[in-house]
Amino acid sequence: MRRLLLSGIAGIALLLGASARAAEDDDLQKAAAQAFKPIPAMVPSVQGNPVTREKIDLGRMLFFDPRISASGILSCNSCHNLAMGGGDNVETSIGHGWQRGGRNSPTVLNSVFNAAQFWDGRAADLRSQATGPIQASVEMAATPAHVMSVLGSIPEYQQRFATAFPGEQAPLSFDNLAKAIEAFEATLITPHSRFDQYLEGNKAILTAQEKQGLKLFMETGCVACHNGINLGGQDYFPFGVVEKPGADILPPGDRGRFQVTRTASDEYVFRAVPLRNVALTAPYFHTGKVWDLEQAVSIMGVSQLGKELNKEEVAAITAFLRTLTGEQPRVELPVLPASTATTPHPEPLAGLPVAAPKPAPAAATATPAAPRQKR
């Protein structure tokens, strides 16, 4: 009898516990649905630049065409590699003449949802952004004039600009190149991540640890900067609100948004990093000095929140961040039209070391070629 009673009480206790957990689960999901938005399955519209099939196709060609760089070998995809999460997975990018860029290459995936582009938000939109790296001396090092003479020398490009920008007096323009690239980039979205499915109501799709990480992400305050559809990319904040990280991660020479606004309060201010697909975009921070996502999480805890997250907390938050990896866009490599007799040649590469001829063992014809200097 007593045993019955006891087991009955235990049963009730269990039920209460379960329902309490369920309620907690509901609250967490509701709170998350408030703070974040899922990536839409459809290509979003772009203000002032209707996204058409013709623009997307043209933009894809331009995104992959290295002839719009001074050297003829660098394209948008060189540093925003669509096979690798839309970045280049190196500390800072290598550009024209093997120069290093000053900051880590941000992913182009879902960038259409950012309020502004670049680490310091100096470009209002993707079409403004697109014109930067093409001209940057350490990136593609080209000029609009060069780009226009390359594209203007290729009939298929002339025709495609005309089709993509119908009724315009001069459809082949640097501005329209930027608009076409923006239209293509608007298609580079990654819906259906596990977190998106969670936001849409599938509470069972996240593990207990991932939910714990989400809870911590919201309660410790990460969400204050990393919210909305991209979990970031919407506003600007100082790197090191509470405690500045080391000079390797935050070098004094790069004062962030101050270099755009010249406003003292913008010193070392950067755009909150969008965290979509963050598991694919190592290394981290504008300097790309941190390769390990867990380390990046603890650094942010200290520098932004003044909180020493313990091992378990860091692991949970990182597990949550890994649920932000969405379906990667499937991109077919364009077939670029051939250059013509009037296409400008790549910048003369005189002065570069040219490989000296090297003897090869006769055996090389039968065995795998050993390291050598020539093709």
Residue stretches of the annotated binding site for heme c? 76, 79-80, 96, 222, 225-226, 300
* Amino acid (1-letter code) at residue 259: Q
| Distance from chain centroid for Cα 356 | 39
Dist CA 203 CA 210 (whole Å): 11
* Residue numbers 228-267 binding a second copy by CB under 8 A: 253-255, 259-262
Residue with Cβ nearer a second copy (204 or 356): 356
Closest CA to 68 of 349, 343, 351, 348: 343
Judged by CB under 8 A, the number of residues near a second copy is 101
User: Smallest gap, in angstroms, from Cβ of residue 304 to a second copy?
Assistant: 21
User: Smallest gap, in angstroms, from Cβ of residue 301 to a second copy?
Assistant: 19
User: Smallest gap, in angstroms, from Cβ of residue 29 to a second copy?
Assistant: 27
CA distances from 69 to 32, 108, 179, 187 (A): 43, 19, 18, 23
Sign of CA dihedral 105, 110, 112, 117: negative
Residue with Cβ nearer a second copy (120 or 210): 120
Dist CA 328 CA 192 (whole Å): 10
* Residue numbers 71-100 binding a second copy by CB under 8 A: 71-73, 78, 81-85, 88-94, 97-100
For residue 250, the 8-state DSSP code is S
Catalytic residue among 91, 139, 182, 210: 139
* Residue numbers 314-353 binding a second copy by CB under 8 A: 328, 330-336, 338-339, 341, 345-346, 349, 352-353
Q: Which stretch binds a second copy (CB under 8 A): 149-157, 164-172, 239-247, 282-290?
A: 282-290
Dist CA 344 CA 257 (whole Å): 37
Interacting residues of 337 by C-beta distance below 8 A, sequence separation 6+: 154, 155, 156, 157
332 is a catalytic site residue: no
* Residue numbers 3-62 binding a second copy by CB under 8 A: none
* Residue numbers 177-206 binding a second copy by CB under 8 A: 178
Which residues have a catalytic role annotated? Answer: 139
